[in-house]
Amino acid sequence: MPENLLTDAKIRSAKSTDRDWKLSDGGGLFLLVKPAGGKLWRWKYRLQGKENLFAIGGFPHVSLAEARAAREKARALVKQGIHPAHERRQVKERNLEALEERKRAKESSFAKVAQAYLAEIKPVFALSSYRTKESRIRKYLSPKFDGMPMSAIGVKQIRPLLEECKSHGAWAALHVKGDLSAIFEF
């Protein structure tokens, strides 16, 4: 079936009726015209023997060229056996999680995160290992970072701390670096 059958003029002149109707662009892409006047891009495809419908967006927010590009991206996903809607949902969830993580990191002070980290690891670690870790955090990290938000702690603050720890021994610096990494990953 030929593709790219629609033009902007055809789309803009499409009028709503008393029921849904479609304007086809070919290749499974069509514009669904709703009775209330909405115009929605949809792409019909088959995956694993089943017919599926992928919602691309509304016109004019999503232009004809953007809808065609979205169809091609979705087509590439289908060729890999991936449902485009599932992939979009996963990307959205990952973006939301990353945003929440950044927000949480900005709002949290080092002291709060370190306390939460220690509370989390206490039941997992042997008592002696936990006390050693807690002591290192209290001795080396808390004096430098307790009043700071996590987002303000960077290489400029960490490097001098690790250099100072090296004067107490390479192992001390290595363990402090590990503790700091664990707190940031928490």
pLDDT tens figures, 15-70? 988 999 999 998 899 999 999 989 999 999 999 889 999 999 999 899 999 999 99
Is the per-residue pLDDT at 2 higher than 70? no
Q: What is the pLDDT of residue 33?
A: 94
| Candidates 1.10.10.60, 1.10.150.130, 3.40.50.300, 3.40.50.2020; CATH matching 108-185 | 1.10.150.130
User: Which pLDDT tens digit goes with each residue over 137-158?
Assistant: 888 888 888 878 887 888 888 8
What whole-number distance in Å separates Cα of residue 23 and Cα of residue 105? 48
Q: Taking residues 170-183, report their average pLDDT.
A: 87
Cβ neighbours, 10 Å, residue 124: 8
Is the per-residue pLDDT at 104 higher than 60? yes
Is the per-residue pLDDT at 80 higher than 90? yes
Q: Taking residues 154-173, report their average pLDDT.
A: 85
Q: Taking residues 163-177, report their average pLDDT.
A: 85
Write the CATH number of the domain with boundaries 8-100.
Answer: 3.30.160.390
Q: Which of 62, 68, 56 is nearest to 4 (CA)?
A: 68
Q: Do domains 8-100 and 108-185 have the same CATH topology?
A: no
Q: Which amino acid is at 146?
A: D
Mean per-residue pLDDT of the chain: 88
Domain boundaries, the chain: 8-100, 108-185
DSSP H helices in the chain: 8-13, 64-79, 84-107, 110-121, 127-136, 142-145, 155-166, 170-185
